[in-house]
Chain A
Amino acid sequence: MSKAMGEVLLEANAVAKHFGGVKALRDVSLTIRRGEVYGLIGPNGAGKTTFFNCMTGLYVPDGGGFMFNGTPLVADAPHQAAERGIARTFQNIRLFGNMTALENVMVGRHVRTKAGVVGAMLHTPATRNEEAAIRQRAIDLLHYVRIEDRAEDLAKNLSYGDQRRLEIARALATEPSLLCLDEPAAGMNATETEALRDLIEGIRRDGTTILLIEHDVKLVMGLCDRVAVLDYGALVIEDVPAVVQKDQRVIEAYLGA
């Protein structure tokens, strides 16, 4: 890692988004520092995924904006977010079902490679080398998330846990500096969650900052360095887990007033 730990990586400034009369996000401001695991929690419908979608360019915020690595993120350009170094997974897994696991990860290399149509048609040495590098990197990543023996299987035939892992491998293939995981433990049993936790800690150790949306409070509190709580689209608190856990407003938001 070239940049120092602890400096600001992503800064959200008063991000607002509404769908018709529903205010999904009300001026949410928060900062994510380099090297940390940052948790974003809140009850269903609190606006967590909307925040994700604004940040990764799938939605255009109605107000406010994001600074990433010191420069603003362009709204409405999801492919640029990936290019800048923001990768994400989806709450409802979105893999390329009819492609193999290996191909899914290879597609993830798209944004860091550059072979074009002409190179592909002429099969130039540069293209062939790049292709070999893409394949090797994808195989390495499948090893990293420990699903290398499913490399040649179609993504949609993988088990649920493996699909989650494949999605993370695909996101890592884009060489993100910020990896955003949208409820990665949803639907997992205790053993799978434990394995996922190891994987996330490994990714953090290897230098990638992680933004984690999660319902599993135990996982979030055990894993995250700092946690933000959203409720009705507004930020309730942003602090270390120990403080957040004891906050009266958080308890109310989760248990009902």
Chain B
Amino acid sequence: MMKWLSPRSALGIALITVALVALPFVAAMGGQAWVRILNFAILYAFLALGLNIVVGLAGLLDLGYIAFYAVGAYTWALLASPHFGLHWPIWAILPFGAALACIAGVVLGSPTLKLRGDYLAIVTLGFGEIVRIFMNNLNAPVNITNGAQGITLIDPVKFGDFSFSGTSQILGISLSGPQKYYYLLVALAILVIIVNERLQNSRIGRAWQAIREDEIAAKAIGINTRNLKLLAFAMGASFGGIAGGIFSAMQGFVSPESFSLIESIMILAMVVLGGMGHIPGVILGAVLLTVLPEVLRYAVGPVQTAIFGKVLVDPESLRMLIFGLALVLVMRFKPAGLWPSPERKRDLTVKPQEVAP
């Protein structure tokens, strides 16, 4: 059902488009580092939206999500670098990486089908660590992942002759590598938003939400909970795999330490902090949690110097302290997240009417 846009929403979309197009140029004024930060914000939004399918819709608390990101990243790294001398094109690697991550998702999902909540979190957490340790140790007897040193000189994203690394001129405008990746990431992010949105309001999406709300009732009305949980794991993992591939190409380098437990927790925090199951909220959470620590990194040192005349507390630890405090405060005062779905918000602000039996 296509509906014509109202003038107001058309204007809104136009403004957002202009802002999205202009953003990397604004960020570049502060240096290319800020464009990279921006790119990571979008990449994390992509990841968080993938995790949102598993956690927000199906209600499966997955603490090992980073494993699928790792699978995607290593797939790209191994198939497009001098490490094995392979240089597959993007249209072959990205689906392949997504498929491998999807399989990993099913492999993780199948033994956890009967687990819920805390127990599921522990098992998935273990799975995430297993994948990282695998990557760390798969350098002997046959060197597959090059161990802790990681893989270097990974090919950038290329479409034909057009490479996303290095500066190039398009229509007379000079675009740096990170700026080009920015547009690629925005395109991918829009795609994943559409997919999320459509899934959420579909037969499958409703079945996931039913499982989240009450698994027994879901079974009783004919939902095959086993298959649908596996599907949620597989879908979420595929998105993780795609994000991992892009990460690998963008960085040109992967090593196991990029896929530590803290990364999984950060992505989960983005989903929870932003507003579980609510797409704009999840995006907000991802952008804030990526950009805020970076802003603090630049701000904490100079602010101390300005106030006390010298740096009293190591900026790195103070930054994480402030960050942690911010998380605690948000969860204390906005338990449904910063931007929860309207229904949830209404529910938490308005007292439900008395249900006298």
Contacts and interface: CB of A to CB of B under 8 A. Distances in A.
Interface of A: 56-58, 78-83, 87-88, 90, 94-100, 103, 106-111, 113-117, 119-121, 123, 127-128, 130-132, 134, 154, 156-157, 159-160, 163, 170-171, 173-174, 186-188
Contact of A98 (B203, B231, B343): B343
B217 A82 contact: no
A2 B237 CA distance: 46
A106 B205 CA distance: 11
Contacts of A130: 203
A120 B202 contact: yes
A99 B203 CA distance: 13
Given A117-B231, A120-B199, A120-B203, A159 B355 contact: yes
Given A110-B222, A127-B202, A134-B203, A98 B357 contact: no
Given A95-B217, A120-B202, 7 more contacts: A58-B216, A96-B214, A99-B206, A107-B207, A110-B210, A111-B221, A115-B203
Contacts of A110: 203, 206-207, 210, 221-223
Nearest to A170: B221
Nearest to A114: B203
A111 B202 contact: no
Q: Determine which residue in B210, B218, B231 has the highest number of CB atoms from chain A within 10 A of its CB, and name it.
A: B210
Nearest to A128: B1
A103 B223 CA distance: 14
A107 B212 CA distance: 13
A107 B220 contact: no
Which of B199, B205, B219 gathers the greatest number of chain A CB atoms within 10 Å? B219
Nearest to B1: A128
The 7 closest A-B pairs by CB, nearest first: A82-B222, A111-B222, A187-B357, A120-B202, A96-B213, A94-B217, A78-B219
19 contacts: A57-B219, A87-B220, A96-B209, A97-B214, A98-B343, A106-B206, A107-B207, A110-B206, A110-B222, A110-B223, A115-B203, A115-B204, A119-B202, A134-B203, A156-B352, A173-B221, A174-B222, A187-B357, A188-B357
A100 B231 CA distance: 24
Nearest to A78: B219
A35 B217 CA distance: 25
A112 to B, nearest CB: 8
Given A98-B213, A115-B202, A120-B205, A56 B347 contact: no
Given A156-B352, A170-B221, A107 B357 contact: no
Contacts of A109: 203
Given A108-B221, A110-B222, A128-B1, A121 B199 contact: yes
Contacts of B209: 96, 98-99, 103, 107
A243 B260 CA distance: 71
A22 to B, nearest CB: 21
B203 A79 contact: no
B139 interface: no
Q: How large is the interface on B (under 10, 10 to 19, 20 to 34, 35 or more residues)?
A: 35 or more
Contacts of A97: 213-214
Q: Which of A88, A98, A174 has the most CB of B within 10 A?
A: A98
A97 B156 CA distance: 47
Contacts of B203: 109-110, 113-115, 120, 130-131, 134
Nearest to A104: B210
Interface string B100-122: 00000000000000000000000
A99 B204 contact: no
A84 to B, nearest CB: 9
Contacts of B199: 117, 120-121
Given A99-B206, A117-B199, A120-B204, A107 B221 contact: yes
Nearest to B195: A121
A116 B225 contact: no
Contacts of A123: 198
B235 interface: yes
Contacts of A186: 357
Given A78-B219, A94-B217, A107 B210 contact: yes
A96 B235 contact: no
Given A96-B210, A96-B213, A120-B205, A160 B356 contact: yes
B222 A154 contact: no
Interface in B328-357: 343-344, 346-347, 352-353, 355-357
A109 B347 CA distance: 26
Nearest to B343: A154
Contacts of A117: 199, 204, 231, 235
Among B216, B217, B219, max chain A CB count under 10 A is at B217
A83 B134 CA distance: 43
B102 to A, nearest CB: 12
A58 B224 CA distance: 13
A113 B222 CA distance: 11
A176 B343 CA distance: 30
